[in-house]
Chains A and B, each alone.
Chain A
Amino acid sequence: MGKIIGIDLGTTNSCVAVMEGGTPIVVHSAEGRNVIPSVVDPIDHVVGDIAKRQMVLKPKRTIFSIKRLMGKKFTDESVKEDSKWLPYTIKSGRDGMAVIEVEGRSFTPQEVSAMILQKIKSDAESYLGSKVTQAVITVPAYFDDSQRQATKQAGEIAGLEVLRIINEPTAAALAYGLDKKNAHTIAVYDLGGGTFDISILELGDGVYEVKSTNGDTHLGGDDFDKVIIDYIAEEFKKDNGVDLRKDPQALQRLREAAEKAKIELSSAQQAEINQPFITQGKDGPLHLTMTLTRPKLEQIVDPLIQKTLHPVELALKDAKLKTAGIDEIILVGGMTRMPKVVEAVTKVFGKEPNKTVNPDEVVAVGAAIQGGVLGGEVKDVLLLDVTPLTLGIETYGGVDTPLISRNTTIPTSKSQVFSTAADNQTQVEINVLQGERPMATDNKSLGRFILDGIPPAPRGIPQVEVSFDIDANGILSVKATDKATGREQSIKITGSTGLTKDEVEKMTKEAETHASEDIVKKEQVEAKNAADSMIFTAEKSLKDAGDKVTEDIKKEVEEKVAELRKILDTGSKEELETKTRELSDSLQKIGQAMYQKPEQQQGEGSEEPKADSEDQANGQANGEKKSEEPVEGEVVE
């Protein structure tokens, strides 16, 4: 079963998306971009970015904006208007339909569009690794029957079965899932590369109907670029007496600089325009350097933005609606990224528009979703939850040791092996914690239990496996098993994922604000634990060494232990670390002494200190992390 692709066949650019694993993915072209310019050389069959590069060289042969001619008669007003500025030849073809003529050959707009669709089809097949034969294609809401038929034909010529033609604003609404949210009335504000469209949609019988449309077929991002270019050129002329627009090479650079500045100013408050050696003046090379501020940019483009508002008014009037009657607004088209545009739209409608989906991709995404529904893919997806906050247990020193991190998809399991903190510790307390902060007391305790009957042993020897299991309903089971005896204890906790969104946000935010002080606290605890371990190791080593060590070494070590013990609870992290290191250095002398003595005792005596000091350096707990054991626990069956 092949995938059904969703295609936004645009005037300036086209985009294609497809459903994968329940989410729409935009297919990247062979050139690596998320959109394909709707530009075609029908003689050489060159499409997209490559065709665009030869536009200046072969203006009569490089066909762009073919969408303007789809399904139109040669005698249509709009065709006559467009013929005036389109550089290629438009003629009357069969049935009086508008066709283009290139080097004596005639092509219908459908045939030209089909070449674009063919490239889209093959790029999608490359991406998916399988054949694509079906598609959903979008058209403007105002397209009449003839125009829709032409679009369908174009698909067929390209080898695609067009399962449905849907309206662009409707596709945008699907992309935002507004049909699920029951948004009754929607306004779609689409400011693309060359055209502006406003559509008012109404939800009726689970389907969106178009109540009214309006717009300006010759207003788009290109016009914005032009006024910016004019502004920069005028400023340069004032300062340097040279009009950059008259020099084709300078104009090219100017165009790129203007576009770059425009994009930068959507996120920054000012943009540096820096084009050295932009042209030759009479006294030598001239450089274009200026700063364009956002307020200045907004001032320059404001008349264009204002131009979009009148069609909006007309569309509302036709739909017999006031702005208050609009439930949701959607932004489509790259130009809607400009903050001033968003501001203007918000002002007109009195509420913020939906803009989280990439405005260049939103229509294709909606078409893909429609394709998914038609293909039955969307309905069978199992929705899985995630655990919203990190789950862990309390370990020695009051630290929270995480086992399952937040946003893990459930059901899931995780185990880890811990050990004891004290000699002859026969029971461990498992305190199950939920939260992002490193210290146990700052997180929420979900429950506690005790596992006892652990055979007495030196600290760090017992192995207690703690496993967390969350089932699909969010019920958490925590089990602790003593690997030696097989004794186990467990608890079941419900509601570990049942927090409200606000609660989760609050806890996560708290963790962020306290992050730096929490790190300090945690490091302090870790330094103390390390110091404590070192003391234990030292005392044990002294005991094991017995009289194999000289009195001065013994005394040195005992002194260092006393110093460290004194500051154990009061010392700063740095002080503890220093003293721990000093003790560790002294300790090594014991080891050295043991190796030098002729009658050494092999085995336990000399090996333990080493193994232990590694252990101790990692901190201990009611449950302790064993460094020798694998940290990644086994998946509990």
Chain B
Amino acid sequence: MKRLPKVGNMDKKKHEKHEKKENLEKKNEELLDQLKRTLADYRNLEKRVEENKLEWIKIANKQLLLRILPGLDALLLAEKHTKDEGIALSIKTFLNILEQDGVLKIETIGKDFDPNLMECVGIIEGEEGKVIEELKPGYMLHDKVLRPAQVTVGKLGNDNQAIENC
């Protein structure tokens, strides 16, 4: 039987060189891919930072407003109990200022209870499903709910339910 020659030294070296080249090419591709991914992540991060910037401003404003609203709540209570004209006018001024920044009071009394805009804190005898009293006013900030209103809702019949702990 004829015998096949061994792999000669020359060919062995050639083979190693070839393998090395292939490995390097493969590594090169991997690194290039990694680089591209990293760059892509970076670009995406830049985009997201830009988007977030505007969001953050909105959110910061929202937080500030939420901290200020209890002050307005107190004034409203004072007006309700003292019926003072001066206080009523001050409240109007306050609300006008807020309106200019897109803050609008949510109308509740007499309206249907809407959990998207209001929180029911009590039930009272009255027209079924309608808001009878407003405990704390709610506000919209542009098209989103800044703070839901707290209301008591009407129910026909007997049970006056106490506010439950959940």
Contacts and interface: CB of A to CB of B under 8 A. Distances in A.
B59 A57 contact: no
A379 B74 CA distance: 55
Interface string B40-61: 0100010000000000000100
A222 B166 CA distance: 8
B150 interface: yes
A277 B163 contact: no
Interface stretch (A75-83, A247-255, A320-328): A247-255
Interface stretch (B2-10, B14-22, B76-84, B91-99): B76-84
Given A53-B148, A276-B77, A249 B119 contact: no
Given A53-B118, A277-B78, A32 B59 contact: yes
A6 B62 CA distance: 28
Interface residues of B, number: 31
A285 B82 CA distance: 9
Nearest to A37: B166
B161 A56 contact: yes
B113 to A, nearest CB: 6
Interface stretch (A44-52, A110-118, A295-303, A619-627): A44-52
A274 to B, nearest CB: 8
Interface in B108-166: 113, 115-116, 118-123, 133, 135, 148, 150, 152-153, 155, 161-166
A506 interface: no
Given A50-B116, A53-B115, A59 B164 contact: yes
A53 to B, nearest CB: 4
A23 B134 CA distance: 44
Nearest to B58: A32
Contacts of B135: 249, 252-253
A57 B165 contact: no
Interface string A485-501: 00000000000000000
A248 B74 CA distance: 18
A255 B164 CA distance: 11
Interface string A59-79: 100001100000000000000
Contact of A276 (B78, B153, B155): B78
A87 interface: yes
A370 to B, nearest CB: 23
Contacts of B119: 52-53
A55 B164 contact: yes
A27 to B, nearest CB: 14
A21 interface: yes
Given A57-B120, A57-B155, A59-B164, 6 more contacts: A50-B115, A55-B166, A59-B161, A248-B122, A252-B163, A277-B78
25 contacts: A21-B45, A50-B115, A52-B119, A53-B115, A53-B119, A53-B148, A54-B115, A55-B164, A56-B121, A56-B161, A56-B164, A87-B164, A222-B165, A226-B165, A248-B121, A249-B133, A251-B162, A251-B163, A252-B121, A252-B163, A274-B74, A277-B78, A277-B80, A277-B81, A284-B81
